[in-house]
Amino acid sequence: MKVAVLIHAHREPNLVKRLVACLQHPQIDVYINVDARVDISNFSDIIADVTFMKNRVEVVWGRFSQVQQILNSYEEILNTNIKYSHILFISGQDYPVKSMDYIVNQLSTNIEKSYLDFHLLKDSSWDRMIRQRYEYWYFLPESDIRNKRFVKKILNRLKFKRKYPLTPYYGSCWMCLTLDAVKYSLKYTSENPDFVKFNQHTGCPDELYFQSILVNSPLKDSLINNIHRYIDWSDEGKSPKVLTMSDLEKIKNSDSWFVRKVDLETDSSFLNSLDNLRDESCNPLSV
* pTM of the predicted structure, to 2 decimals: 0.91
Q: Is residue 18 part of a domain?
A: yes
For residue range 232-248, what is the model confidence (pLDDT) as tens digits?
Answer: 988 666 678 899 999 99
Three-state SS letters, 242-280: CCCHHHHHHHHCCCCCEEECCCCCCCHHHHHHHHHHHHC
- pLDDT, residue 215, reads 98
- pLDDT, residue 213, reads 98
- pLDDT, residue 274, reads 94
- pLDDT, residue 152, reads 65
State which residues form the domain around 83: 3-111+228-279
Q: Evaluate whether 278 touches 96 at the Cβ level (below 8 Å).
A: yes
pLDDT in tens, the chain (287 residues): 999 999 999 999 999 999 999 999 999 999 999 999 999 999 999 999 999 999 999 999 899 999 999 999 999 999 999 999 999 999 999 999 999 999 999 999 999 999 999 999 988 888 888 998 998 877 666 666 666 666 666 666 666 689 999 999 999 999 999 999 999 999 999 999 999 999 999 999 999 999 999 999 999 999 999 999 999 988 666 678 899 999 999 999 999 999 999 988 777 789 999 999 887 766 444 33
For residue range 108-163, what is the model confidence (pLDDT) as tens digits?
Answer: 999 999 999 999 998 888 888 899 899 887 766 666 666 666 666 666 666 668 99
Q: Is residue 49 part of a domain?
A: yes
User: Which residues have a Cβ under 8 Å from the Cβ of 267 and sit 6 or more positions away?
Assistant: 243, 244, 245
Peptide bond into 261 cis (omega under 30): yes
Distance CA(195)–CA(165), nearest Å, equals 7
User: Which residues have a Cβ under 8 Å from the Cβ of 186 and sit 6 or more positions away?
Assistant: 71, 74, 75, 78
Q: Is residue 13 part of a domain?
A: yes
**Torsions phi, psi of 219, nearest 5?**
-90, 5
Q: Is residue 174 part of a domain?
A: no
Q: Is residue 164 part of a domain?
A: no
- pLDDT, residue 218, reads 98
**Torsions phi, psi of 112, nearest 5?**
-100, 10
Q: What is the per-residue DSSP string for the chain?
A: --EEEEEEESS-HHHHHHHHHHH--TTEEEEEEE-TTS-THHHHTT--SSEE-S------TTSTHHHHHHHHHHHHHHTTT---SEEEEEETTEEESS-HHHHHHHHHHTTT-EE---EE--SSHHHHHHHHHHHS--S--TT-GGGSHHHHHHHHHTT-----SS--EE--S--EEEHHHHHHHHHHHHH-HHHHHHHHTSSSGGGTHHHHHHHTSTTGGGEES---EEE--TT-SSSPPPP-GGGHHHHHTS--SEEE---TTT-HHHHHHHHHHHHTT-S----
Q: Is residue 145 part of a domain?
A: no
Question: Among residues of the chain, what percentage have pLDDT more than 90?
Answer: 76
- pLDDT, residue 285, reads 42
For residue range 183-192, what is the model confidence (pLDDT) as tens digits?
Answer: 999 999 999 9
Which CATH number is 261's domain given? 3.90.550
Q: Which of 260, 176, 274, 261 is nearest to 226 (CA)?
A: 176
- pLDDT, residue 50, reads 98
104 exposure class (CB count in 10 Å sphere: 0-12, 13-18, 19+): buried
Total domains in the fold of the chain: 1
Q: Evaluate whether 59 touches 132 at the Cβ level (below 8 Å).
A: no
